[in-house]
Amino acid sequence: MSINATQTMSLLQSMLREQSRPAAEQTTSTVSSRFSDRLDAAIDRGTVPAEASPEAVQHAAELLQLTSLRSSLELLADQHEADGTAALPLASLSASGAASTISPLNSYLANLADAATRPAGQTNRQAVPEQEVEPGPRAPEQVERRASRLSDASQSGAIEQTISKASQRYGVDAGLIKAVIKAESNFNPRAVSSAGAQGLMQLMPATARGLGVSNSFDPEQNVMAGTRFLKGLLDRYNGDLDSALAAYNWGPGNVDRRPDRLPRETREYLVKVKQYYSAFTA
């Protein structure tokens, strides 16, 4: 059988009772001997099952603690015998530096008393105040999405400012510039068409070079140059929006030669841009 909390507490209480007796009636060696004998008997009876349950592990831990206490008492007795003070009463041990041994005994007794009265399976855990859990670090994809949203918002604001700047410089309605950008690239500054047109307003490389653009994927360069090109077309066709937009999509040379034979793609482009233009100016 294993040593339970009640048995262990009984052993330790007997030691403390010995401690409380008058100094003349007890010595360190006699108390140590009595307590050691009881511990020997209790420990010799303690066994741990082969398949250790939580209770068996607890009992084994108690046995280890009892063995350590017995060793501490024996060491104290040996020390006093070596010093010629074998008859030092246990009551005066605190004055000799043994309080560090008696104090843990009292604490251990209190824990054992609690364990003896506690329902089976219940652990002696101190209540720990709940702490506010700080948000953990974001997952990489969450950080990337958040950074992407911030980048998109910043880029959108920069494009709006560039459109406003181009509108004021070239006298082209900002709603019309937005409508062309929406139809051409859907506000994607990295857009490239199958024909090789690039950027927000889908400038062909030759047209971009003619307008002094060094990087068609730079939103400001692209929008400023595209608006300048659109303004030139409006002036060329005396403000006729359909002709200017058709020339922007199909090329001014084609419109000049065959103004009545616009391809289907260009006709659909005109409808789409004017719809966007109406929405942006509503």
pLDDT band at 259 (very low <50, low <70, confident <90, very high): very high
pLDDT > 90? residue 38: no
* pLDDT mean across residues, the chain: 74
Catalytic residues: 184
Contact by Cβ (8 Å): 189, 207: no
- Asked whether 166 and 227 are in contact (CB, 8 A), the reply is yes
Fold adopted by 157-280 = Lysozyme (1.10.530)
Q: Which among 36, 94, 97, 45 is positioned nearest to 66, based on CA atoms?
A: 36
Query: Where along the chain do its domains lie?
Result: 5-117, 157-280
Contact partners, residue 215, CB within 8 Å, separation at least 6: 221
Signed CA dihedral, 112, 114, 120, 123: sign only = negative
> Once rounded to an integer, what is the mean pLDDT over residues 122-133?
48
Q: What is the pLDDT of residue 203?
A: 98
Residue 245 pLDDT greater than 70, yes or no: yes
Give residue 90's pLDDT band: very low, low, confident or very high (50, 70, 90). Answer: very low
Q: What pLDDT, in 10s, does the model give residues 214-242? A: 999 999 999 999 999 999 999 999 999 99
Spatial separation of the C-alpha atoms in residues 199 and 217, rounded to whole Å: 5
Q: Tell me what the mean pLDDT of segment 64-90 comes to.
A: 58
